[in-house]
Amino acid sequence: MSNIILITIVTMSVLGIILAMVLYLVAKKFKVEEDPRIDIIEATMPGANCGGCGFAGCRDFATACVKAGSLEGKFCPVGGNAVMKIVGEKLGLQVEEKAPSIAVVRCNGNCDVRPRTSIYDGSSSCRVSASLYNGDTDCAFGCLGLGDCEAACPFDSIKINRTTGLPEVNPDTCTACGSCVSACPKQVIELRPKGPKDRRLFVACRNKDKGGVARKACTNACIGCKKCEKVCNFEAISVTDNLAYIDPAKCRLCRKCAAECPTGAIHEVNFPPRPPKPAAAPASPAAPAAPAAPATETLKKEE
């Protein structure tokens, strides 16, 4: 009996040693040489594998950085400038600084201002809905509200608000990877520079219908009246196909356009509240100058 056990142990051990040697020799002989820097770079990446850089995951991006020998056109939107700086240092390459971006939702047609004209009862997906028809409101350009962006976001930072029916971006966690931009079949979401002190101005509408048609479908829609285009001192606003667009590269955040917009389609984010308008003045003809004084006082207090 003990003989059998002994023979088994010896055979298995000898077999194990022989096979281990074969494996070792094969591993030595056919070793794939890989640049050790790829592992180092990959370790510094955020590891989200979101594809926001345009490569298939973090390792692919690291490989591309090492192989290309230049970091031109390569940027990890999730890690941002901080990570790219480390990557540049480790590879000894120049890094171009980029202003941080954020996803903005260019639709403000919430449930109150954009009435439903039909009930969509199909598959709960914007892509499917968009392939079938124009959406359950009369606006053919706006958010469908079925949450393809929410499902696509790898960072859980875009969520459909159930009361407004529109997606909302969490500015703290959004990395501007662009997953939601490519998931949206209506091109509602855009990546825009975060702006100084997180302040930004944008036209929250995509409606290219003529003013009257757009207004009928949604009272918050851009009607292409060109008031913003005229008031802008920096030629940052252009109106094409009845839709205004603010070029973030030219915009100086003066907010004149937002005040001028008759439908409130231009959204201002993170700006201090505006001083109350001294518009009440002409209302009481008896004392025209009197109400103006307190208004300036409150303004001073805020400052």
Binding positions for other proteins, rule: CB under 8 A: 117-119, 121-125, 127-128, 131-135, 138, 140
Nearer to other proteins, 33 or 121 (CB): 121
Nearer to other proteins, 125 or 170 (CB): 125
Structure tokens at 256: 């004149």
Q: What is the DSSP letter of 268?
A: E
Alpha-carbon span 302 to 294, nearest angstrom: 13
Residues in the chain, how many? 303
In the complex, the smallest distance separating the C-beta of residue 186 from other proteins, rounded to whole angstroms, is 14
Task: Write the burial class of residue 143 (CB in 10 Å: 0-12 exposed, 13-18 middle, 19+ buried).
Answer: buried
Segment (H or E) for 171: none
Nearer to other proteins, 135 or 195 (CB): 135
Nearer to other proteins, 83 or 153 (CB): 153
DSSP per-residue codes, 103-168: EEE-----TTTS-B-S---S-S-HHHHHHHSS-SBS-SSS---S-HHHHH-TTS-EEE-TTT-SEE
In the complex, the smallest distance separating the C-beta of residue 127 from other proteins, rounded to whole angstroms, is 6
3-state SS, one letter per residue, for 72-106:
CCCCCCCCHHHHHHHHHHHHCCCCCCCCCEEEEEC
In the complex, the smallest distance separating the C-beta of residue 125 from other proteins, rounded to whole angstroms, is 7
In the complex, the smallest distance separating the C-beta of residue 122 from other proteins, rounded to whole angstroms, is 6
In the complex, the smallest distance separating the C-beta of residue 124 from other proteins, rounded to whole angstroms, is 8
Nearer to other proteins, 133 or 234 (CB): 133
In the complex, the smallest distance separating the C-beta of residue 119 from other proteins, rounded to whole angstroms, is 6
In the complex, the smallest distance separating the C-beta of residue 147 from other proteins, rounded to whole angstroms, is 14
Task: Write the burial class of residue 78 (CB in 10 Å: 0-12 exposed, 13-18 middle, 19+ buried).
Answer: buried
Alpha-carbon span 129 to 134, nearest angstrom: 8
Centre a 10 Å sphere on the Cβ of residue 3 and count the other Cβ atoms it contains.
7
In the complex, the smallest distance separating the C-beta of residue 36 from other proteins, rounded to whole angstroms, is 32
Nearer to other proteins, 210 or 250 (CB): 210
Nearer to other proteins, 122 or 262 (CB): 122
Nearer to other proteins, 101 or 129 (CB): 129
Burial 156-190 (b: 16+ CB within 10 A, else e): ebbebeeebbbbebeeeebbbbbbbbebbbbebbb
